[in-house]
Structure 1
Amino acid sequence: MKKVNKLFLAFLILFSIQFSFAQDSLKLSHQEFMNIVKNYHPLAFKYQLQNRIAREEITSARGNFDPVIAGKLGEKNIDGTRYYSQRNIELGIPTWYGIDITGSYNYLEGQKLNSSETPGGLYQFGITVPLAKNLLYDRRRAMLDQAKFGLRMTEAEQTVLTNELLLDAENTFWEWVKNYEIYRLQKSAVQINRKRLELTKKTYEFGERPAIDTVEAASQLQSFELQERDAFLNFVKSTQDLQMFLWKENQEFYEISQLIFPSSSLDEHSGYSDYELLVENVKSRQLENHASLEYYFQKQNILESERRLKWQSFLPKLDFTYNFFNKENYRPDYLPFFDNNFQYGLKLEIPVFMRQARADYQIAKLKISQNQQDSQLKFREINTKIETYRNEVSNYFTQIDISTQNLNNYERLLNAEETRFSNGESSLFLINSRENKLLEAREKNLDLKAKFLKSYNKLKWLNENFLR
């Protein structure tokens, strides 16, 4: 905090001293600023990383289907008696439909082997098939499906978050430009009134004006000087707000070490001419394609996958396992499967009350219902925002047109009052009054343009959130 305050004070002093040397200052355009935010802002970089994480989650889920090679080597020897010596290598292949395939070679010898064990080399090929639970859907398939849906969900979410960041940055930029133009406006008024005060003093010395006119001119100058200081402070504050979006490569914060001014102006924005096209473009979009809704659609897919998985818990766990054996150096005897050299098993598990299965399934259904409600609410929210921003843009554009006409009228009134004053038909008080009204009208005009651009940007970045 102390560092920021020192920076603020240094910038304030530097700005005050060197404002007249604008040619040595740093100029920043709208396009340059937005490129900096897109390429270097830590949040933009963070959102890109989030998408990469989601892609790696898919790779991780695919790992559940990777073949597994296992090996085992062991021996037991007590008091010179070798109970057993074993060498084993095995390959397990999980498949998409819950079927597991295994193949192995096992060599076993020793003096204390169990009667169920087969000495010598033994080849084995086996298969395990779920006949009820996990046949149509299991956790391996669910994890992969959910990872794929999660990637689309993350991409939609990061699209919205990135565009919100760019919207915030763009509106901060145009607020900065507005405050700079207001400061220039106030500074120009101070310069004009300083010259007017000097002229009034000379006319008073020549006996052409009363002394009260010098007081009137000085009061007007002091009033504008106060407004200039206030406008300058607002500009410096908005510069600090802008600095929060200025970063360098490797996400290093950009510290302002020299003057910085906008090279773009409010009047140069293309939104005044193409806002109607933007409004029509947004109207023609399908809300279902909005990234915010896509987020909920993909979340719905994840929840549906979880519901399907929980439904499997109602089925009995019935697994059939078959292993075919062949001793080393023996001629294979494959058929019939249940005649010789085989082993099979049938395992059945049935929960008695199924309380966990019922609870888990109901929870999954309730989460789906919650997401549907959230999706409907978001649909209504987006639709309302579109209507609000459209109305704001149209209304502010109309107000700018009226304000510009009003501004022109105040300029004409001031010019006419100055002509009357030079002819001795008016007073300095009336000129000051006209000038105050003109300055207020100019500030109002700048404020309306800034409000228009902010609403235009809201509509523009909302439009950017549509995926297709």
Structure 2
Amino acid sequence: MKNKALLLLLIFNVSFGQQKTLSSTEYWQIVQNFHPIVKQTLIEIKQSNASLTIARGAFDPILEHYSTQKTLDGKNYIDYHAPSLSIPTWYGIEFNAGIENIRGSRLDISQTQGQTSYLGIQIPLAKNLLMDKRRAVLQQAKILQKMAIQDQRTELNKLLLDAMESYISWVRSYQAFQLVQANYINASKRLEFVKKSVEFGDRPAIDTLEALTQKQTFENMLTGKVLDVAKARIGLSAYLWNADNNPVDLAEDVIPTPNDEVNLLANADLNLQSLIEKAMQNHPELNNYRNKLAVLGIEKKLKFQSLLPKLDLSYNHLSRGGPSLYGASFLENNYKYGVKFELPLRLSEGRGAYQATKLKIENEQLNLNQKQVQIEIKIRNYFNEFEALQKQIRTQQSAYTNFQSLVKAEEQRFDNGESSLFLINSREMKSLEAAEKLVDLKAYLQKTTFAMQASAGILYEN
């Protein structure tokens, strides 16, 4: 219920007697809190956490109990019970302890009648000493957990970029609608003024037709702008979801917050060198290439073990009754040890696997280098667009101001009987075109700014 209340407050920023609005900040929060892609990335992170827990299971102590019994023709051949505990450690060393209780009349001569116990250790002295499969899987699982977080950043950078572009398009279409609406209202008032002037004989009747044509032109344009706003609102609604994973349609009477451009660009990094440095250091896609290299580095260490001989040492201290080291003489009495040596004479499998991993690392490093160049080029292109758009906006702002001045001057001349409605209408159309062009340039600048942040991987950094 709390999330639902938050969503309603964000979407319908309502005070009695005030217009319902949706600001970029409120919209941003809604997308980050409720969009399905956000929740899916969180699920992927939880799945990586589960995989890490599974990998840690390879180092869990194991409690085991084995029992067997055999009788034939009334004779008790063997009655065997053997509980045991083994404790693996990080460095490949494994400790174990257990009890053997053996009874029977047909035992092997190497078996000891009655209850005996042992405390033992197994140590790899060559292969698997510095790295083994259990350690490799656990280390790789930790890196895969980091990769899931970087994947989340990548997906949310893309999501937020698309979402903000939809918001900017909605704002642009609404601002264009307001421009045409203002011209339509002005044209309607002028038509009424001209009609009265014609009635009083101050204007020729043809001026009524000229004023009416201008009004109709703006009326048609207004209908198109209403349609554009409706389309933009539908596109925006695709990113609005509630806490119950249901889509939310933006109400028709909700409008963008006025003068929201400052909030849109408030936290943007607009320095080229800073953007490139941030991208090279912490771009999620680059981080994951580095994570892949780290995973392959662990695999390389594991494959190197295949080039080493297998030399395992095991030692068990034996005692009657329960496990005990009291009076232990280790290599003098009451012990059992073993040495296992194994070496493939050609090491074909080991050499092939090790070489294949080295080639994977080399290939992944090339991918990383190429991705770094691609990202830097992308940032530079967006930055160049950003600077060019700023210049265009300054020029267009000046042009729009000049067109407005021409319209006012033409209206004054018309009032003095020195101009015509045709010239006023022409000036108005040029002024409207300049105003719409200015709105388009500002919207494009905002989209470019967000694209520049996303290309550097900093649109979403958490």
Both structures adopt the same fold (TM-score exceeding 0.5): yes
Candidates 134, 138, 154, aligned match of 1:144: 138
Cα distance, 1:310–1:276 mapped onto 2, change above 3 Å: closer
Q: From the superposition, tell whether residues 81 and 275 of structure 1 become closer, same or farther in structure 2 (CA, over 3 Å).
A: closer
User: Structure 1 stretches of 5 or more lacking a match?
Assistant: 1-21
Q: Where does 1:157-176 land on structure 2 (aligned, <5 Å)?
A: 157-176=151-170
Percent identity between the aligned chains?
A: 37
Aligned pair in 2 of structure 1 residues 193, 359: CA closer, same or farther (>3 Å)?
same
Aligned to 2:127, the other structure's residue is in SS state coil
Deviation at 1:80, TM superposition (A): 2.9
User: Is contact 1:291-1:465 (8 Å) kept?
Assistant: no
Summarize the Cα distance change of 1:467–1:197 in structure 2 as closer, same or farther, 3 Å threshold: closer
- Residue 326 of structure 1 is matched in structure 2 by 319
Q: Mapping of 1:72-221 within 5 angstroms?
A: 72-221=66-215
- Correspondence 1:315 to 2:308: yes
The verdict on how the C-alpha distance between 1:451 and 1:331 changes in structure 2, with shifts beyond 3 A counting, is: closer
- Which of 282, 290, 295 matches 1:302? 295
2:282–2:457 CA contact under 8 A, matched in 1: no
Task: Give me the whole-angstrom Cα distance separating, in 1, the residues matched to 2:19 and 2:278.
Answer: 44
Which deviates further from its counterpart, 47-56 or 138-147?
A: 47-56
Does 321-330 or 172-181 show the bigger shift?
321-330
| 1:226 Cα deviation after fit | 1.9
Match of 2:330 among 337, 346, 350: 337
2:373 aligned with 1:384, yes or no?
A: no
* 2-structure distance, mates of 1:209, 1:388: 56
Is contact 2:31-2:241 (8 Å) kept? Answer: yes
User: Structure 1's 394 and 258: CA in aligned 2 closer, same or farther, altered over 3 A?
Assistant: closer
Tell me if structure 1 keeps the 8 A contact 2:317–2:325.
no
Higher mean alpha-carbon deviation, 440-449 vs 94-103, is at 94-103
Q: Helix, strand or coil: the match of 2:70?
A: strand
Tell me what 1:234 maps to.
Answer: 228
- Identify which of 34, 37, 46 aligns with 2:31: 37
Match of 1:397 in 2: 390
Deviation at 1:337, TM superposition (A): 3.2
Call closer, same or farther: CA 1:201–1:139 in 2, change over 3 Å.
same
TM-score normalised by L of structure 1 = 0.87
Structure 1 residues 226, 278: closer, same or farther in 2, change over 3 A?
same
Deviation at 1:30, TM superposition (A): 1.3
Seen in structure 2, the aligned counterparts of structure 1 residues 411 and 122 have a Cα distance that, compared at 3 Å, is: same
Tell me which amino acid in the other structure corresponds to 2:234. Answer: Q
CA contact (8 A) 1:25 1:258 kept: no
Deviations 1:38-89 (CA, angstroms, capped at 9, x unpaired): 1111111222232333333333222211111111233223343322222221
Listed as ranges, the gaps of 5+ residues in structure 2 are 1-15
What CA distance in whole angstroms lies between the structure 2 residues aligned with 1:383 and 1:39?
A: 31
The aligned counterpart of 1:10 is none
Q: C-alpha displacement at 1:178, in angstroms?
A: 0.9
Counterparts of 1:330 and 1:314 in 2: how far apart (Å)? 38
Query: Is the 2:160–2:459 Cα contact (8 Å) retained in structure 1?
Result: no
CA distance in 2, matches of 1:78, 1:372: 67
Q: Distance in 2 between matches of 1:332 and 1:284?
A: 61
Taking a change above 3 Å as real, the CA distance of residues 438 and 98 of structure 1, as seen in their structure-2 partners, is same
CA–CA separation in structure 1 for the residues paired with 2:213 and 2:459 = 53
**Pair 1:229–1:356, CA change in 2 (3 A):** farther
Which of these residues, 419, 427, 431, is aligned with residue 438 of structure 1?
431
The 1:276–1:402 alpha-carbon spacing in structure 2 relative to 1, beyond 3 Å, is: farther
Aligned in 2, Cα 1:463/1:369: closer, same or farther, shift over 3 Å?
closer
Equivalent in the alignment of 1:360: 353
1:12 aligned residue: none
**8 A contact 2:157–2:458 mirrored in 1:** yes
Separation of aligned partners in 1, 2:324 and 2:185: 109
Deviation at 1:284, TM superposition (A): 6.0
Match of 1:224 among 184, 208, 218: 218
Most deviating of 329-338 and 126-135:
329-338
For residue 457 of structure 1, the aligned residue among 444, 450, 461 is 450
Single out whichever of 388-397 and 301-310 deviates more from structure 2.
388-397
Corresponding residue SS for 1:372: helix
The 3 A distance-change label for structure 1 pair 70 and 417 is same
Q: Secondary structure at the match of 1:97?
A: coil
8 Å CA contact retained: 1:317, 1:347: yes
Structure 1 counterpart of 2:150, which letter?
A
Tell whether the 8 Å contact from 1:197 to 1:214 is kept in structure 2 after alignment: yes
Q: Specify the alignment match of 1:15 in structure 2.
A: none
Shift of 1:94: 0.9
CA distance in 2, matches of 1:196, 1:54: 68
Deviations 1:277-314 (A, max 9, x none): 65564366472333332221121111111011111112
Which one is further off, 336-345 or 386-395? 336-345
Asked if the contact 2:450–2:459 (Cα under 8 Å) also holds between the matched residues in 1, the reply is no
